Amino acid sequence: MEVCTLAVGNTQVKNNVFLAPMAGYTDYSLRKLQLEMGAGLTFTELVSAKGLMYGGAGSKELLYSGEEIKDTAAQIFGADAFFLRAACESEYLKDFKIVDINMGCPVPKVFKNGEGSALLTDIKKAENIIKECVKSGKIITVKIRTGQKKGDDVATDFAMMSENAGASLITVHGRVREDYYSGEPDFNAIERAKRAVKIPVIANGGIFTEEDAINMIERTGADGVMLARGAIANPFLVSKLTKTPINITLKDYMLKHIKLFSKRVEDKRAAMEFRKFVPYYFKGMTGVKELKLALLKAENTAEIIELLSKNL
For residue 260, pLDDT beyond 90: yes
Can you say how many angstroms the Cα of residue 83 is from the centroid of all Cα atoms in its chain? 22
Extract the runs of DSSP E, i.e. beta strands, from the chain.
6-8, 11-13, 17-19, 41-43, 47-48, 72-77, 98-103, 139-147, 169-176, 201-204, 224-227
- Cβ-in-10-Å burial (0-12, 13-18, 19+) of 56 comes to middle
* pLDDT computed for residue 33 by the predictor: 98
* pLDDT computed for residue 55 by the predictor: 85
Q: Domains along the chain?
A: 6-242 (3.20.20.70), 250-311 (1.10.1200)
For residue 19, pLDDT beyond 90: yes
The Cα–Cα gap between 38 and 18 comes to 9
Q: What is the pLDDT of residues 102-156, one digit of tens each?
A: 999 999 999 999 999 999 999 999 999 999 999 999 999 999 999 999 999 999 9
* pLDDT computed for residue 303 by the predictor: 97
Strand partners, 103: 144
Average pLDDT over residues 180-208: 97
| Maximum CA extent, the chain | 57
- Cβ-in-10-Å burial (0-12, 13-18, 19+) of 280 comes to middle
CA torsion angle for 206, 209, 215, 220 (degrees, to 10)?
40
For residue 56, pLDDT beyond 80: no
Model confidence at 58, pLDDT cuts 50, 70, 90, reads confident
* pLDDT computed for residue 172 by the predictor: 98
* pLDDT computed for residue 239 by the predictor: 98
Q: What is the pLDDT of residues 149-177, one digit of tens each?
A: 999 999 999 999 999 999 999 999 999 99
Q: Three-state SS for 102?
A: strand
Contact 225, 194 (CB under 8 A): no
105 catalytically annotated? yes
* pLDDT computed for residue 119 by the predictor: 98
Average pLDDT over residues 289-299: 96
> Residue 153 is which amino acid?
D
The Cα–Cα gap between 85 and 45 comes to 18
Can you say how many angstroms the Cα of residue 162 is from the centroid of all Cα atoms in its chain? 19
- Enclosing H/E stretch for 258: helix 250-264
| Residues 6 or more apart in contact with residue 190 via CB below 8 angstroms | 146, 155, 172, 174, 201, 203, 216, 220, 222
